[in-house]
């Protein structure tokens, strides 16, 4: 593992690291903020999964999480959104597919199946690497994300029962198997059989019996992707049918940007901390 950078912030350390990934068959980069409490022993972990076109850098620069994470004693881990490199298949003119758009799934279709193994990377390889190299307590971990990352956070929590103490999302893609900006990606990554897409669709996973104890979602009413890409009412309906407690905050006038995310970041950190330290 290579250290790209470290910087002191709010008594803790913001680091960025690179390593060779077996799952993705390329170099992968991630960021981790360690609060000052990590100097005394392992601290709980909160995973943040970013959205389309993003890397670890977006939330690190714009998410405004370090002050409160330091106060609460939370490590914040920010992985990349996809494999990257010259040998990784891509569609450079399509921001909804390829590098920057891994959708946190394991691709089954060539040529994407060699590199686009983001679910395995996030759920297996990266946690093992983190646990070996940093003072974190993975018996206390939670997950959240934005947009495509919100989709990833919810699906990972649904499929890994008991692993995450809590899950939340900012403007998640609620039903990617039918959304205009994700259905084409699913076809390329997973093939033409919609039955194979169910494992990466929050609403369909709930329909198939997967559960989380509760769910917190913040969504801006001025989000330009609300009606075609996000559609939180579909997730609301699925949770209602499954008796999953859902707090859906429709935030008047907010859009899809990090101005929106940073505004409500503290709410999510406190919500997760309450459950991580329970």
pLDDT tens digits, residue range 41-51? 999 999 999 99
Percent share of the chain, pLDDT over 90: 99
Given a cut of 90, whether residue 28 has pLDDT beyond it is yes
pLDDT (average), residues 85-105: 96
What pLDDT was estimated at residue 181?
A: 84
Integer Cα distance of 121 and 71 in angstroms: 29
CB atoms near residue 128 (< 10 Å):
10
Confirm or reject CATH 3.40.50.80 for domain 2-276, answering yes or no. no
pLDDT tens digits, residue range 120-150? 999 999 999 999 999 999 999 999 999 999 9
pLDDT tens digits, residue range 158-197? 999 999 999 999 999 999 999 988 999 999 999 999 999 9
**Residue-range domain boundaries for the chain:** 2-276
Backbone angles phi, psi at 45, to 5 degrees: -120, 140
pLDDT tens digits, residue range 224-255? 999 999 999 999 999 999 999 999 999 999 99
Catalytic residue IDs:
147, 223, 256
* pTM for this predicted structure: 0.97
pLDDT (average), residues 28-38: 98
What is the pLDDT of the chain when averaged over all its residues? 97
């Amino acid at each position: 593992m290579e250290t790209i950078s470290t910087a002191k912030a709010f008594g803790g350390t913001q680091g960025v690291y690179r390593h060779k990934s077996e799952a993705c068959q390329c170099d992968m980069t991630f960021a981790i903020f360690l609060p000052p409490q990590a100097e005394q022993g392992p601290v709980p972990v909160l995973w943040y999964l970013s959205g389309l076109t993003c890397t670890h850098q977006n939330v690190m620069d714009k998410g405004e999480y370090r002050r409160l994470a330091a106060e609460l004693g939370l490590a914040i881990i920010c992985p990349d959104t996809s494999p990257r490199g010259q040998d990784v298949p891509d569609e450079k003119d399509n921001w909804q597919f390829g590098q920057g758009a891994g959708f946190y799934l394991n691709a089954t279709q060539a040529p994407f199946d060699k590199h686009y193994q983001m679910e395995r990377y996030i759920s297996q390889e990266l946690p093992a690497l983190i646990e070996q190299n940093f003072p974190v307590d993975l018996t206390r971990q939670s997950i959240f994300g934005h947009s495509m990352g919100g989709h990833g956070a919810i699906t990972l929590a649904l499929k890994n029962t008991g692993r995450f103490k809590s899950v939340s999302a900012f403007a998640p893609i609620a039903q990617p198997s039918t959304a205009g900006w994700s259905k084409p990606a699913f076809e390329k990554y997973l093939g033409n059989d919609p039955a194979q897409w169910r494992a990466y669709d929050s609403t369909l996973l709930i329909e198939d019996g997967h559960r989380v104890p509760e769910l917190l979602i913040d969504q801006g009413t001025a989000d330009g992707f609300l009606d075609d890409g996000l559609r939180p009412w579909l997730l609301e309906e699925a949770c209602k049918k499954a008796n999953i407690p859902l707090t859906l905050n429709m935030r008047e006038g907010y859009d899809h940007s990090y101005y929106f995310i940073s505004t409500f970041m503290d709410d999510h950190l406190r919500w997760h901390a309450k459950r991580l330290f329970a």
